[in-house]
Structure 1
Amino acid sequence: MADAELLVEVAGAVATVVIHNPARRNAMTAGMWRRLPELLDGLEGDPAVRALVLTGAEGTFCAGADLGDLDDLFDGGDLTLAVAAEERLAAFAKPTVAAVRGACVGGGCQLAVACDLRVAAADARFGVPPARLGLVYPAPTTRRLARLVGPAAAKHLLFTAELIDTERALRIGLVDEVLPPDRLAARVDELTAAVAARSQLSVAAAKEIVDGRADEARIAWWHGQVRASGEAREGVAAVRERRPPRFGWTPG
């Protein structure tokens, strides 16, 4: 096993991408940033995968970008490897969950914010440190953070570069749930199992609409898919018959 790599595990309908660079607290190297969009392309195209979990190895989510790759990562302004990976993760067509333990800082926080949901162990810590390093946080990344937590909370994180605990992260909306460390894995399994059991048509449409990527024509297309697929008829029948639904729609 390489010291710095992204590991992929697929169990049933859920794919897990593990950030693995334990010697550097799972810092993302240039090679890892390049690799992430390629992995996501493959997982998005796998019809068996209905949800994706992003997490870190050995009790740490990700301590940020590997500063040994500073020139590769920051000479391009907003056109960096990290931003490209973040944008690909945000555009992933299936639900994404960041499962966070320990440090979630800089590039790690960037990746967590690009996920749809963030579930954290109580020992997690979050921070955005460019002001400590004399760097300008990329504009797409800054805007995504501000949309999630609001302008004031984003400015606090960006201006101070302070680490915040999960209590504050939950209060400002940076995370959705906080669990005891020994409950995190089970809760992520519960959450992804619930998502995987739902109508993938409903889930995919909701993600596009919430993310602002569906125009009127696309929304009309989604409603057409409801009529053509029979998903709603199956859902209603399942409720009436008090049985689990047998949804069959897949992206095509």
Structure 2
Amino acid sequence: MTETDKMLATVADGIGTMTFNNPERHNAVSLEMWEAAGSILDDFANNPAVRVVVLAGAGGKAFVSGADISKFEDERASQTAYERYNAAVDRASTLLYEHPKPTIAKIRGWCLGGGVGLATCCDLRIASDNSRFAVPAAKLGLGYAYKGLKKIVDLVGPAYAKEILYTARQFTAAEALGMGLVNRVVAADDLDAYVQDYAVTIAGNAPLTVAAAKVAVGEAVKPDAERDLARCEAVVDACFASQDYIEGRRAFMEKRKPDFQGR
């Protein structure tokens, strides 16, 4: 398998799926995979056929298990290589966190280190009941960058964030749910169908309304001085001025499913 084969992208039923395809290493992510992830996310953002983005891991045993340590000798051998690696991680993570479409992490099995980082960049996290979560930086002597740490704190609060980072231990799916690290936990056999149904449900809703909600929630978690309320108002106005608003009203009156076009 070449490096380019280790990231897969498909589009169907309004859902863009990005799969980390390195199962022999529990979907550990190399530099080339990070760079490919950035390109895929960029393509999904600009593809009108994509209304929801789902992240998944291949092989059935892991979502993402962090960085591919076997590549470190090449990828971090020099300052230039180290900077290129960090830039690729930051670009993909930022594209995911700021993605204009709703994003779902479909988590099965191991979700470790950078896998937790990727999951916290998504809007929703749905995990199988056999998933395991950990940020093992403290066992490796690594520092955890502020941007990634803050996303964990935003989800679970400071007390649980400290527990995750101080202990570096593995948490069960039930523990992750209790902390608020994931939205839902379902039986492993039901995960694919459950996430598919969730994604199809979101894809069938009015894209401009969903996008407006994503903008508003993003602004709501910022400090007061940093909130762009004009942007929130603009995306709401765009909904009311859209053809989808007309379609939604007509469909309601006609007792049928609306056919939203995102305009």
| TM tier relative to shorter chain | over 0.9
* 1:160 matches 2:162: no
Q: By how many angstroms is 1:223 displaced?
A: 2.6
1:192 match: secondary structure: helix
1:1-252 equivalence runs, <5 A: 1-2=1-2, 5-59=6-60, 60-70=62-72, 72=75, 75-76=82-83, 79-212=86-219, 215-250=228-263
Q: Is the 8 A contact 1:131 1:159 kept in 2?
A: yes
Partner Cα distance (2:157, 2:20) in 1: 28
Letter in 1 for 2:156: V
1:58 match: secondary structure: coil
Q: By how many angstroms is 1:235 displaced?
A: 2.0
Q: By how many angstroms is 1:224 displaced?
A: 2.3
Give CA-to-partner distance per residue, 1:109-160, whole Å, 9 cap, x none: 1111111111111110001111111111111000011101111111111111
2:241 match: secondary structure: helix
Q: By how many angstroms is 1:23 displaced?
A: 1.6
Q: Please state which structure has a larger fraction of its residues in helix.
A: 2
1:211 match: secondary structure: helix
Partner Cα distance (2:144, 2:70) in 1: 18
Q: Is the 8 A contact 1:100 1:119 kept in 2?
A: yes
Q: Is the 8 A contact 2:215 2:232 kept in 1?
A: no
2:10 match: secondary structure: strand
Give CA-to-partner distance per residue, 1:213-240, whole Å, 9 cap, x none: 8712212211321232143333233223
Q: By how many angstroms is 1:247 displaced?
A: 2.0
2:127 match: secondary structure: strand
Q: Is the 8 A contact 1:113 1:145 kept in 2?
A: yes
Q: By how many angstroms is 1:245 displaced?
A: 1.4
How many residue pairs get aligned? The number is 250
Give CA-to-partner distance per residue, 1:35-55, whole Å, 9 cap, x none: 111111111111011111101
What is the TM-score with the length of structure 1 in the denominator?
Answer: 0.92
Q: By how many angstroms is 1:94 displaced?
A: 0.4
1:120 match: secondary structure: strand
Q: By how many angstroms is 1:85 displaced?
A: 1.6
Q: By how many angstroms is 1:62 displaced?
A: 1.1
Partner Cα distance (1:241, 1:24) in 2: 53
Partner Cα distance (1:84, 1:163) in 2: 27
Partner Cα distance (1:169, 1:20) in 2: 24
What is the TM-score with the length of structure 2 in the denominator?
Answer: 0.89
Letter in 2 for 1:207: K
Structure 2 unaligned regions, length at least 5: none
Partner Cα distance (1:126, 1:81) in 2: 23
Pairwise CA RMSD: 2.1
Q: Is the 8 A contact 1:83 1:140 kept in 2?
A: no
Partner Cα distance (1:70, 1:160) in 2: 25
Q: By how many angstroms is 1:10 displaced?
A: 1.4
Structure 1 unaligned regions, length at least 5: none
